[in-house]
A and B are shown apart, each in its own frame.
Chain A
Amino acid sequence: MDCARAMLSIIESKKDGHLPLGVRLHLSHCASCNAEYTRMREALAFMRSEYLPRSPDLSELIMTAIRATPKLEAAPVSFRDWTLVGIVILAAIAIAPLGSAFTWVRKSFGSDFLLPLNVVLGLILSAYGAFFIGTHLNEFVKRFKLDENREFEQP
């Protein structure tokens, strides 16, 4: 890599200090580029430490206001994560009959095990769905416009 390309890569880098391997190799043996890069880093570090204006200490004021606010709600698991896990469970149930373990169970027990198995899987899915809906009532109401005038309390 030549000096011009190395410096262009440095300037194009998305984040300081995250340089491609080729550039780092170039810097390790090119003293002038290394010096230029070091100067730029020093300039940036200097700017961040010296130019950012000093703030008055507001921590006590803010903490007083925070102590007066009601307790934070626990962070809920996001709608997206719940949906993704639900899809994974459904997919696992869908592909289970294709597995060798399932084939072995069917050979050993015939079709008698299918009814209890389906009941258990159905219960698991129902419990998952009920818990999901119960913890995200407000989001369901909003997303599916079930009742715009009613507000449900999250547990």
Chain B
Amino acid sequence: MSPPDLEPDDYDLVRMVQRGDRERFNLLIGRHQRAVFGLGLGFFKNREDAADFTQDVLLKAFRSLSSFQGRSKFSTWLYRIAYNTAINALKRRKEYVSLAEDAELPDHDDPERQALGEATRMAVLSAVKNLPERYRICVDLYYFFGVSYPDIETITGFPVNTIKSHVFRAKSILRETLKNEY
């Protein structure tokens, strides 16, 4: 029998912070700073700006936490703040570079995993290369952040059918790439 899961989920942590236990926000930072930093890299293209962006977004999230009512996932709400912050910082230019373009895959001892990593990276690259920059984030949100279609719509405000068609194409390319590789 597995031990009970004692780790509070995001929603519980938010409630604790809302009730005044602000130190709990540290756990939320630990869980989400990597994702926010990843989004920042996609928009700002360098680590220093992405780090400043991450701080800015997480502080904004803390300050607006009283408006979070749990109707969406905390991560979706946070990514929406991140997306809006980035768009405003870039003066509404929705330029985004996919994480697949600059990603460096760490060396793996297991050649099969190394091959899988390369194949998936190639699949994302082919999926985003013909997309306008503003829509590339949809593919990244799906692939790298595991965000569902409706949540991508909430975050970006793009029509769900547009998101569906871009992500559908990206998934089809992944399938074909994996078929050819194995």
In residues 63-96 of chain B, which contact A (Cβ within 8 Å)? 63, 65-69
**A-B interface, 4 closest residue pairs, ranked by CB to CB distance from nearest:** A55-B37, A15-B148, A43-B120, A59-B29
Given the known interface contacts A46-B120, A52-B99, A69-B63, the answer about A74 and B18 at a Cβ–Cβ threshold of 8 Å is yes
Decide if A51 is an interface residue (CB 8 Å cutoff).
yes
Q: Is the CB of B124 within 8 A of A47?
A: yes
With contacts A56-B37, A74-B18 known, what are 12 further pairs, Cβ within 8 A? Answer: A39-B182, A43-B174, A44-B143, A48-B146, A51-B100, A51-B117, A53-B103, A55-B50, A56-B51, A59-B26, A61-B55, A63-B26
Q: Is the CB of B38 within 8 A of A53?
A: yes
Given the known interface contacts A11-B171, A58-B33, the answer about A48 and B105 at a Cβ–Cβ threshold of 8 Å is no
Q: Report the interface size class on chain B.
A: 35 or more
Given the known interface contacts A43-B174, A59-B30, the answer about A75 and B144 at a Cβ–Cβ threshold of 8 Å is no
Specify which of B41, B66, B113 is in contact with A53 (CB 8 Å cutoff).
B41
Residues of chain A within 8 A (CB-CB) of B100 are 51
A-B contact pairs, 24 of them (CB 8 A): A39-B178, A42-B116, A43-B119, A44-B143, A47-B120, A47-B121, A48-B146, A51-B99, A51-B117, A52-B38, A52-B144, A53-B99, A55-B33, A55-B38, A56-B37, A56-B47, A58-B58, A62-B29, A63-B26, A66-B22, A72-B20, A75-B65, A75-B69, A78-B69
Decide if A67 is an interface residue (CB 8 Å cutoff).
yes
Q: Is the CB of B146 within 8 A of A74?
A: no
Q: Is the CB of B59 within 8 A of A76?
A: no
Decide if A153 is an interface residue (CB 8 Å cutoff).
no
Q: Which residue of A lies closest to B52 (CB)?
A: A58
Specify which of B65, B67, B68, B144 is in contact with A48 (CB 8 Å cutoff).
B144
- Most interface-central of B17, B116, B145, B149 (chain A CB within 10 A): B116
Name B residues whose Cβ lies closer than 8 Å to a Cβ of A: 17-18, 20, 22-23, 25-26, 29-30, 33-38, 41, 47, 50-51, 54-55, 58-59, 62-63, 65-69, 99-100, 103, 105-106, 113, 116-117, 119-121, 123-124, 143-146, 148-150, 168, 171-172, 174-175, 178-179, 182
Q: Which residue of B lies closest to A57 (CB)?
A: B33
